Amino acid sequence: MEKKWTDYLPNRIAARRLRAAAIRRVRKELILHGKSEHDFSKDDLEYLVADAEITIKNELQKAGLIGALALLGFGL
pLDDT tens figures, 52-74: 999 999 998 898 888 888 888 87
Which of the two residues, 18 and 12, has the higher pLDDT score? 18
Domain ranges of the chain: 5-72
Please say whether the beta carbons of 47 and 55 come within 8 A.
no
The per-residue pLDDT for 7 is 73
Residue 25 has pLDDT above 90, yes or no: yes
Please say whether the beta carbons of 65 and 75 come within 8 A.
no
* Nearest by Cα to 20 from 56, 60, 64, 44: 56
Which of the two residues, 63 and 43, has the higher pLDDT score? 43
Please say whether the beta carbons of 49 and 26 come within 8 A.
yes
Number of neighbouring beta carbons within 10 Å of residue 22:
20
